[in-house]
Chains A and B, each alone.
Chain A
Amino acid sequence: MRVALRELRRRPGRFGVATGVLTLITTLLVFLGGLLDGLFLGSTGAIRAQDADVLVYSAFSRDSFLRSRIGPELRQEVERVPGVEETGGLGLALVAARVPGEEEPADAAVAGYQLAPEGVPPTPPPGEAWADRRLEADGVRVGQTLLMGPAEVPIRVRGWVEDTSYLLQGTLWVAPETWRRVQSLSRPDAAVAPGVFQVLAVRGEGDPADLARAIEAGTGGRTSALTLDEAVFSLPGTAQQNRVFTGIIGATLLVAVLVVGLFFVLLTLERTGLYGVLKAIGASSRQLFAGVVAQAVVVTAVAVALGTALAVLLALAVPPEVPLQLEPARAGITALGMLAAALVGSIVSLRRVVRIDPATAIGSAT
């Protein structure tokens, strides 16, 4: 093993190609992970921020905000379900916002709320909003008045909140009546009457999944109740995005396994003479294989460090409309995935190392 590590230090050039390829694979993985996180986090912020245990939709809405309606009477039924402690109405409207001084309108989600989500202050007065920081990139500033939708409903920005966007659009957190105005004026076909919300955020006791089942049962099947995790994955496209990206990331890791495997098998073939001599003077296959694994792990670790740094640098050049979000946790998972790939890949060399006959030392020259 010591010998293997010394070889790495003395002959770094030999490992250059493998390090380079693995570096690029790491960069690719970090980017893919960043896009996945950017899409996922950017799509789900408004739901993840909910300080609630369960979200209640009307039945047959297929768990979609836009199709769901909860009137006062259904809400009372929910509130009567044992375990339910507090409910708050939620409504979302996706509209374009005219930003003062900007040519292009900004895509925004106007969210009327009663229970303050995490990181969002209590409901502001009508006509005002807490704006998601994402809107800053569209030229939105605190103190401005935005004009929402074709009816140009004015909303004044009071301050910023973080990580609450919905389907990659910055959310404006407003009073329920402000949301109803925006919704009814911009989508007359989907107007909402006073007292009506799309979804109820429910706080209660016990396991959220049990609470959700109890609410569905207690409302006689007129609701569909989801835990926050379920609600996140019921957002349009979220589950599919996750599957597609997980698939691509998995395939890329497989390529990393093949690169490590092929590279070290070739290296092992090239080292038949050296390994023969080391075996002849008493090295075991296990020791030699441990050396191969150590080299694979070190080469991969270096590649992960370089590749992650490269990804961070390249990310600076990515335009802001690309939903790329580099998360430390994702970098950690990528690093672990790559190291696992290195271990699996180096196992391919095991048979080669074991098969080398110490008698090859008799004749071979260095």
Chain B
Amino acid sequence: MSAALDLEDVRKVYRAGEGEVVALSHATLQVGEDEIVALLGPSGSGKTTLLSIAGGLLAATAGRVLVGGRDISGATPGELTRFRREQVGFVFQAVNLVPFLTARENLLVVDEIGGRRKGPESRARADRLLEELGLAHRAGNLPGQLSGGERQRVAIGRALMNEPRLVLVDEPTSALDTRTGTQVMELIRTEVKGRGTAAVIVTHDTRMTRWADRTLHIDDGVLSAVPAAGPEGGDAEA
């Protein structure tokens, strides 16, 4: 079976000064081609670490990472750059838009750094995404002139710009009120489902998990299908 994302027994250990932090242990997870998986867990449980490894931003200490059937575990930094450019869409926890570019230009950056599209085609896609995200009237605004929810939506647009195989969203709603958070989650679902893209959405807000096809819990670096306090490990546990 072809999975958009396939983590096999992934382990991540951070070296912090003298000691070590085990941020992920034996994480095994498969995300189907157009599946949306919510990753739920308390702060410091390893959610961002897992996303970063899945997206080729961090190297796993052990285990295999396959995206679209391709193993990226041993890839060079250059190969990973290309992989991220072509296969992955990130929405970072801190949003991280380019501050001196307008909403529209923040989307266009993706194509400017080597995307498939050029010029008019690229602008057309950016405009369509902004339209879908309800940002058409904000296209010319700088991030500093946008609200938190609007910035979040621009970041989603940027993540979808390269038609990724896998969208990784880190805490899209943590800085938003429930209503805006719900809106953003709805949008992510519509956009991702409409394109047949797989997505992993990290959150620590249980209310947001209803937009996902499946919810996984993570606690202290250990994945399970049910909360850590639950009776037994789920299908994702190694």
- Please state if A282 and B99 are interface contacts (CB–CB under 8 Å): no
Question: Is there an interface contact between A366 and B57, defined as CB atoms closer than 8 Å?
Answer: no
Question: Are the CB atoms of B96 and A365 closer together than 8 Å?
Answer: yes
Contact status B57-A280, CB under 8 Å: yes
CB of B85 within 8 A of CB of A11, answer no
A269 at the interface (CB under 8 A from B): no
**Proximity bits, A343-366, B CB within 8 Å = 1, else 0:** 000000000000000110111111
Known: A10-B100, A358-B81, A362-B48. A283 touches B94 (CB 8 A): no
Cross-chain contact B93 with A3 (CB below 8 angstroms): no
Q: Which residues of A contact B100 (CB under 8 A)?
A: 6-7, 10-11
A318-361 toward B: CB 8 Å interface, digit per residue (1/0)? 00000000000000000000000000000000000000001101
Asked whether A3 lies within 8 Å of B96 as measured between CB atoms, the reply is: no
- Cα A281 to Cα B92 in complex, Å, equals 10
Shortest distance in angstroms between A22's beta carbon and chain B's nearest beta carbon?
22
Query: Which of B58, B97, B100 counts the most chain A CB atoms within 10 A?
Result: B100
Q: Which of B58, B82, B85, B98 interacts with A3 by CB under 8 Å?
A: B98
With both beta carbons as reference points, the residue of chain A lying nearest to B86 in the complex is identified as: A282
Q: How far is the CA of A7 from the CA of B112 in the complex (A)?
A: 14
Q: Is B84 positioned at the interface, with any CB of A under 8 Å from its CB?
A: yes
B229 on the A face (CB < 8 A): no
Q: Which residues of B contact A361 (CB under 8 A)?
A: 57, 90, 92, 96
Closest beta carbon of chain A to B100's beta carbon, Å: 4
Q: Is the Cβ of A366 less than 8 Å from the Cβ of B81?
A: no
Please report the C-alpha to C-alpha distance between residue A282 and residue B109 in the assembled complex, in whole angstroms. Answer: 10
Size of chain B's interface in residues, with CB distance under 8 A? 33
Given A282-B85, A358-B81, A366:B99 Cβ within 8 A: yes
Identify which of residues 259-318 in chain A touch chain B, using a CB-to-CB cut-off of 8 Å: 273-274, 277-284, 287
What residue of chain B has the Cβ atom nearest to residue A276's Cβ? B96
Residue of B whose beta carbon sits closest to that of A273:
B96
List of B residues within 8 angstroms of A3 by Cβ: 98, 101, 109, 112
- Give the nearest-CB partner of B108 in chain A: A2
Contacts A3-B109, A287-B114, A362-B92 hold; do A278 and B57 have CB atoms under 8 A apart? no
CB of A282 within 8 A of CB of B94, answer no
| B92 cross-chain contacts in A, Cβ below 8 A | 277, 280, 361-362
With A and B bound together, what is the CA distance between A167 and B200 in angstroms?
Answer: 81
* A273 contacts across to B, CB distance below 8 A: 96
B153 at the interface (CB under 8 A from A): no
- Say which residue of B85, B96, B113, B170 sits within 8 Å of A366 (CB atoms): B96
A6–B86 CA distance with the chains assembled, in angstroms? 24
- Chain A's closest residue to B159 (CB) is A281
Instruction: Tell me the minimal C-beta distance from B225 to chain A in angstroms.
Output: 26
Contacts A10-B100, A362-B48 given; does A281 touch B57 at CB 8 Å: no
Give the distance in Å from the alpha carbon of A277 to the alpha carbon of B55 in the complex. Answer: 13
- Contact yes or no, B98 A274, CB < 8 A: yes
CA distance A284 to B87 in the complex (A): 15
Where the two chains meet, the residues of B that have a C-beta atom closer than 8 Å to any C-beta of A are 48, 52, 55, 57-58, 78, 80-82, 84-86, 90, 92-101, 105, 109-110, 112-114, 143, 158, 162, 170
Counting from the closest, the 7 A-B pairs by CB-CB distance are: A282-B85, A365-B94, A283-B113, A10-B100, A277-B96, A282-B84, A2-B112
Residues in A lying within 8 Å of B, measured CB to CB: 1-3, 6-7, 10-11, 273-274, 277-284, 287, 358-359, 361-366
Q: List 12 A-B contacts (CB under 8 A).
A: A10-B100, A10-B101, A11-B100, A274-B98, A277-B92, A282-B82, A283-B85, A362-B52, A362-B58, A362-B170, A363-B94, A366-B143
